[in-house]
Structure formats: structure tokens, C-alpha cells
Structure 1
């Protein structure tokens, strides 16, 4: 009989602008737009001309500007819609590499379904789809954008390229769902008239993929990255090592990957990423404006490493490879000097491959490591991360040691987590440790939806769609300073998941809700309006080939 974990995760800051937007601008326009969503429902009632003129192609009203996930900060509907036609150009007038690449990305999204050429040009013009840097609104920050749609053009402006990219995701969601298909579809391709002004609530909006319990190919990871980008997430946390498998090549310790990566839960073939594989994932994520956050889980969850090198064990004897799911039994040998040679080499090589700011060192469920050894190990491991220029991240057990200045603790507790453990995290936050929130009974995407869900686990409880959405990151940890919360993450552990279809069945439709918690202003948080907007995502997910869970809590179109 296999025992699954019972207490585990197995596993910037909110800005003043949001408060001002909420008080002075957001609510009248936002809730007005949401009323339009409810009123419009899913059916179109107007007639649109066929592209290029002539008889109507089909009767269809453009999607209301507020019918988006995540919901924008400010929506001002009005005016004539913009229609993409055979003569439409994508204009990138400033000609910078980033803007040209975003234009090419957009063209790649739209060409298969529309059948239009959609040339990307740096020639200026007042028509077409216009992507422009240089918006002087400081409230947009590094990731915000403004989308203006009118009869002659749709224009997306931003201060930084990331904002333009997020604006493209909004434009994409405003088009009919069939735009996501890979074959030519019937038009029209209209975008409702008006203006969307938008920027994120939190600077850190993440999803985690566990590639250690089961290994996933580069292509499968890329598919997930594309799905995260649609909902404006900006971090991909990769859980690269655990008891069941080591998934990243380390030149100075080659058996970690070749032997430690040779199996997975249930005894499958496993696998690992070469350095070039990992760099391709990092590059692809960056092209979707996601930063990769690699995790090497230490000092527990290390059986794959211990099996690969006997000298990492206190008794000098390598244990066998492990394919089960019980946790908490493994530990690096804290007193040995070779342990820190190992940590230094792994962190050095991984840091060199990772352009992002963060490196995650785990720290959870080290049940076979004494408290004294845990504190001593974490002190040394954090110093190594800093030595190679990265910011330390760890699961919230890091707060049981002494987090270094600037460290980030990822909270994965849940309703049954003890008050003392929660208070330890709150105290660390009061002392300057920043927090990422991923409560297991809210945002863990591997928890079963209901008792009848075939995939997933249930040690943290059953997590239906409403429960995964209906919590507030700012107040979740009572007593933690609001400014200590960097953002949110939706982890997906893969003890029971083996391919993209199974990933998608568990991630959707809960992932978009966590993404909205990270992006949208707190004042917009409302299940009754969210479930209508989420329902409108169903046909889009279907067009993307995502076989999502049809939660009975959501009024899906056609059900």
C-alpha cells in the first residue's frame, strides 16, 4: 500500500496605485462592464459584415471588454468595434527587437484561424493593430498596458515590452474563441470599442510544475508555458529534484541526472534535461515574459541524489532508487564537508544557466534532519545562493531557521496548519522576509476537485473551483504585513500525473482563478461575476485543445 503525504506541499508588492484606482476609477467602469457581461451572456445579437465588405459572415456581437480573465483594472467601453480584415497590418513603429518579436508572436496566433497574412511592419500608420512602447502613465509600471479599440485601429501601448505582451493576451481574449484554432475559421474578427487600462496587483504571479515525480518533456513544458501566458502569469517554478528523480544535468556530478533521473513514481523511465534543454525552456519562457525559478529541494527530498552518490550519505552507503510517494525519510548528511561541495557545485551550475533573480532551495518536510542540523544547513545553503548572485527562495519551513536578508518564503500551509507554524511565518514577515502564498487547500492544483476525481490527491482536502478562487492573498495570513506579500503561486505536483492531458485536467479551470488573484485589483474579487467570466473561457479552452474539468459550480456555455 502506498502512503501519500499528509502534511506537505510535496510538494512586487501591492502598490498604492491599486488603492487609488479602486477608489477613484475602477469600480464604476469595471462593474458597469461586468453588468454588460451578464447581460450579453454568450450569444451575439448583431450583424457584422464579411471581411472586406459584402454580405454578413455571421451575426455576432463583439465580446464585452470586461469579459476577461484576469479581469482588468479599468474598462471604459464605447465607440465602434475594430475588425481584423485581410488588409490588416500589425504595426511595430518603434522597430525595437522586443516589439517586433511580440508583433510576430501575435501574427502567429492569428494567422491560422483568420487565414489572413497580417504582415508585421515597422512602417508607421494610424490603422491596423498598433503595438507601441512609450506610454507615459507611471501607473502602468513594468507590466501594465492600455488597449484602445476603435473603428480604424486597435492600439496597445505600454511602458515596457512585458506590458505590450500582456496587452496582446487581452486582445486575444477579446476575439472570438475560434481564433485559438489551428485551422481557418469563419469571421468576423471584431474587438469591441473602448479602452482597457490595466496593470497587476502583485509583481509575482506564478505556477509551479513538478517534473521530478514524473518527468515531462521540453515540448510538454512549453505547452504549459503557453497556457500560463494566456492568463498573464510571469513566473514558472520548476521543481527539478526530489526523492523520485533528479531532472537537471550537473557536469560536476553527472550521475545525478544519468542515474538519479532514470526513474519516476511507479517505476517509469524518468528522464532529465540537458543543459541545452533547460536553456531552451528558459528561452521559451522568456519569450512569453515568464521567468523560470528553478528549485533544488534540500536537505530532504534528496533520495535521488543520495542514491547517485554514496558519499552524500552519513554512512557512506547509497540507498536504492525510489519510486514511491511517502515523504520525509531522506536527508543530506549535514556534518559532512562534501555535502557543501555538492551544494556549491549544483547552485553554481544552475545559477549560471538561470538569468532570473530567484533560486529555490526547498527546505520542506526535512523530517529526517534534526532541527539543529536543519538550521545549520540552511545557513550554509543560503550563503551559497547569495554567493552566486541569486535571491533565496524556500518553502515556509525556511522561517524555522534564519532567513537571510531578502529571502522569500513560500507558504503552503492550509486550514489545519497549526497556529504556531503560521505565527512563525508571520513573525518572519514582520522581520522583513517576503512571502509567496500558495495555500495547499486553495491553490494546489493537484488536489482532487471532488471525492470522485480520478487524478490527484486529497491530503489537504477537496478543492473545487470556487474554493480555489475565493480567498484574499492580502489577508490570508492574519498578522502578516500586507506589503510582505509578493504574490501568489499555483503549484502542480505530479505523483498521479503523467502527460499534458492530465496536467490540464487538474490545472483548468482552477489556474485562471489563481492568476486573477495575482493580477486583478482586490475590489474586483467576486465569485458571482467571476464564474460568468470563467464560463466564457470554456469554448476558448476547448479551441486550444484543453480538456478541462467541467465544474458544476460554473455555468458553462452550452450546459
Structure 2
């Protein structure tokens, strides 16, 4: 810092005067210097909470005496407490017991709060004496633990314990999501990813309060789920992938384990079986699913190929009933996604008829139908969730029938779009989508004439024609995923790109600790 000549002379004069005073009163005790409490900067949380106040005072420290206390009636709260304690044990090396009775000084307490208006909302208070996480429902408590996780140093994400110190500045957070549907779609059909890899994907979703995992389980290049009534779908239709690799599929036990892993993190699995198009793998497995009774060869190409289930065959509807029935039994959530996109060789009237019958099947199984925007061309129930990806008119047609809209605009939320011309993976047909592009849009204003009340949420989509390994999935997901998480969770008027990109940069050490590869976008000041 530079001082003006006048300012410098005043400082020198003051110094001389003080020195003289000190000489005259050398036997007197020096007065203590006055200090002003310093409020620490707000933590770099993503998604940004609805309300956060730094309250000042001495920080809370996790020590060898810290416990996790449960004061919430729900059984799931105990499970969340165990999840948090397990994570803290790995990070710190401390015992971190979970207690349900008695007093626990210096505890992290999970408690009920019936005043929290949202099922996913929570309150979080940090004082020197303890941390309190309060929520009406277990989902809110879990989200609070993910906020707490981000309040700790990035070293806490390491697979081995670190020495700390593990301190958190005092604060109060009152938080709840803007939209109920905050999703991410992973295409396991074009390239197959194992159950363990999908569970790792779920873990990164949980950190950013994503609450829907949409699994694209079938396409022309592969069928990825064991169906016991039609076993060749998986054993033959799942035997390859784009480029001719060995492919693979989830056994029903593996799929159930994915669903359980997600549920423990309050993430709902939305399974998609694409129909009536994108069915080459199914038709290669069973010739009777074609109109001419001739099975096509397995397909390992990258681009889509025209095909359709045979709309006039009764067997077609037995097939979808069997497949969706087994899927419904394995999936406790209320939704089944039937795809419905790009049915380019299905006649419009046949398409409408097929979607109507598929919808009846879904409803008969006690589920709600989800479909891509094209299903809005058919007669659909108001309970339908329609996923917009490109065509506003089709989405508006669905809204006219009372459906709810989830936005996955290809120009903003498709994670298979390249960041820039140098990105080694993915496509560019919808344009390049760097981090700023993926952050600076709003679901309530993206489609003209669509009201916020008609929007159910937002969802990213990662198609994998040109994303072949899980390391490549990581690279295309980060650093874009936190942006769509914030779009779905945080109030629109609190979002600002310049402020966000600084927050985002601080998360890179956390990703490295988790062993995640990420793209170092030039738009983010990584430091």
C-alpha cells in the first residue's frame, strides 16, 4: 500500500509523539490494543443456500471426543447419522460414535424440526459448543450433512485420515430447494458402466443435492438390465456397445443395489426403457419384436438407426408389459420413463396409439409416466412428467394437457457436448457448452410462455456415444454438474456467474480427494 506524502508525515509525527509519551511515562503499563472481531468469509457452498449468516465467535472443532447424536424420530435419521459418522471417521481417524440418548458435549446433533416447510429443507447451526442439523424429514437431514461436509476442509474427502484441524466457523443456514426435481441422466446403453461406477456417480450427485438419477437402460446399441421373462435382452442384446466392446448388463440384484445405494442418499432412480424407437438391441434379441419376423444384427455404430416396435402386434404390448412390470417391481419410486423420442419411422397415428397404450401399462403398474418431449404429441395424463430437450412447441403441447415439465435443454444441460473445440470427447451438434453456458440459464424463463409453476425442475443428460470410460464420464460431468445443481436448488435472484465461478474453483481439491478427474475450464479461476 502506498501513502500520500501528507499521510506519511502525519504517521511519522504521530510516531514521534507516541515515542515521547512513552519516554515520559516509561513506568506505566501499556494499554492493551483494541481489537475488532473478524467475521470469517462465507463458505463456498454449492448449491448456494437460501439464507446464510456468519454469526461470529469461536469455531467448532471436531476432536477425538466428538459424537453424532440423533434426536429425530425417523429410522432414516439414524441411517443418515451412521452415514455422516462413517464419513467423519474416514476423514479424521476419530471414533465418532453415534448416540441416541444421554448428553453428548461437542456433538453434531441431528434433530427434528417440524417448522421446516419443505420435505428437503433444513436448518444448520454451528456454535463453539456444537453443530445442530434440523429438518422435518430425513431427506432434509441428509442434505444438511452434505452442507456440513462442504464446510469442512477439502482434505476430508481423502480416502485416508488427515490430522486436521477440523474447524467450522459459527453460522446459521436456513435452506430449501427451489424445484422438487433436480436430476442427472446417465446413458449406460451406448457404453456400459458397472454398478460400482454408477454408485460412484451417485455419490457425486449426493454431494450437490441432486435427487434424481435417470438411467438410460436401453438403446439400439445395448440392453443393460436383466429381464427374466425375456432373458436374451440382456445376455445377447447387452453383449456389445458402441465401437464393438463387450458391453454388459446389470443383474436384477445389481440394479436393486444401485437403487438401494441411491435411496440411502435420498436420490430416486428413474429407469428408462426407450420405446417405440431406439430398439435395435431388443429386436436383435427377439425377431418376433419386428414386423417382418427377421432379427436385425447387433448394432455397434455411433449414430442412431431408424427402427420401431411393431405397433400392430399384440406381442409388442405383452413385451412392454413384461419389461415394465419387472422394472416396476425393482424400482420403488413412482416413475417409469418410456423414452418416446426420435420415433422417426413410426407413423404419427401409430405413435400416438403406442404412447397411449404404454401409458396405460405404466398406470396399471401404479406408476407415473415420464417421457421425452415427443410424448406431448400424444394424449397424456396430467400426471405425466415431460422432459424437454430441444423443441419448445412439443413441450408446450404437453403443458397444454396439464403435464409437468423437466428441462434438459441440449444447448445448456447436455454434458456430452464438448466444452470447446479441444475437448477430446463428446459431440458438438448442439454447440459448445462450457461452464458459464451451463450455469447462466433459468428453467422458469428458458421456454417462452412457460410459467415457473409448470416447471418441475431441471436435469442434466450425459449421452455416451462418444464417452467410453468412467474417467471420461467424470471429465464431462465436472465442473458442470454443480452448476445445474445450483440452478435446481438455489433462488434465481441469488445466482451470479462471477461470484459462482470463484466458489466453484474451491471445489477442485475436493474432487481430487475423491479421485475424480475434471476439466480445468479457462472460465474458472482455479488458482
Q: TM-score, with normalisation over the residues of structure 1?
A: 0.86
Of the candidates 461, 469, 473, which is equivalent to residue 499 of structure 1?
A: 469
Instruction: Compute the displacement of 1:480 (Å).
Output: 1.4
Q: Which residue of 1 aligns with 2:8?
A: none
1:533 alignment partner, SS class: helix
**Cα displacement (A) at 1:373:** 1.1
Q: Which residue of 1 aligns with 2:274?
A: 297
Q: Aligned partners of 2:361 and 2:111: how far apart in 1?
A: 39
Task: Judge conservation of contact 2:375–2:398 (CA < 8 Å) in 1.
Answer: no
Task: Please report how far the alpha carbon of residue 423 of structure 1 lies from its aligned counterpart in structure 2 after TM superposition.
Answer: 2.4
Pairwise CA RMSD of aligned residues?
A: 1.4
Distance across 2 between alignment mates of 1:339 and 1:395? 20
Pick aligned residue for 1:374 from 337, 342, 351: 351
Within 5 Å, give how 1:313-462 maps onto structure 2: 313-413=290-390, 421-462=391-432
Which of 92, 108, 131 is the aligned partner of 1:114?
A: 92
- Residues 263 and 271, structure 1, Cα contact 8 Å, conserved in 2: yes
Corresponding residue SS for 1:128: coil
In the other structure, the counterpart of 2:125 is 148
Alignment partner, residue 516 of structure 1: 486
**CA 1:249–1:434: 2 relative to 1, 3 Å:** same
| Separation of aligned partners in 2, 1:441 and 1:164 | 34
1:194 is displaced (CA, Å) by 1.3
Partner of residue 309 from structure 1, selected from 275, 278, 286: 286
Alpha-carbon spacing, 1:383–1:173, altered in 2? closer, same or farther (3 Å)? same
Q: 1:359 to 1:441 in 2, by over 3 A?
A: same
For 1:362 and 1:62, the matched residues in 2 are separated by 51
What whole-Å deviation, never above 9, does each CA across 1:206-264 have from its counterpart, x for those lacking one? 01111100111110000000000000000100000000001111111111111111100
Aligned: 1:228 with 2:198: no
Partner of 2:71: 93
User: Is this contact kept in 2: 1:65–1:196, CA < 8 A?
Assistant: no
- Give 5+ residue unaligned stretches, structure 1: 1-60, 414-420
- Secondary structure at the counterpart of residue 451 of structure 1: coil
Q: CA separation of 1:467/1:129 partners in 2, compared to 1, >3 Å: closer, same or farther? A: farther
* Aligned: 1:131 with 2:109: yes
Q: Deviations over 1:164-219 (max 9, x none)?
A: 10000000000011010011212110111010110000000001111100111110
Offset at residue 64 of structure 1 (A)? 4.1
The total of aligned residue pairs comes to 489
The equivalent residue for 2:251 is: 274
Residue 554 (1) aligns with residue 524 (2): yes
Conserved 8 A contact 1:199-1:519: yes
Higher relative contact order (CA 8 A, sep 6+): 1
Contact 1:242 1:303 in 2 (8 A): yes
The residue that corresponds to 1:466 in the other structure is 436
Shift of 1:126: 5.8
Alignment of 1:1-16 (within 5 A): none
Query: Residues 275-318 of structure 1: CA distance to partner in whole angstroms, max 9, x if unpaired?
Result: 11110000010011100000000000000001011111011000
8 Å contact kept, 2:373–2:398 = no
1:175 corresponds to which of 152, 155, 161 = 152
The structure having more radius of gyration, on CA atoms, is 2
The question of whether the paired residues in 1 share the 8 Å contact of 2:73 and 2:112 is answered with no
1:95 Cα deviation after fit? 6.3
Match of 1:238 among 204, 209, 215: 215
Deviation at 1:130, TM superposition (A): 3.2
Q: 1:176 to 1:66 in 2, by over 3 A?
A: closer
Asked if structure 1 preserves the Cα contact closer than 8 Å seen for 2:39 and 2:56, the reply is no
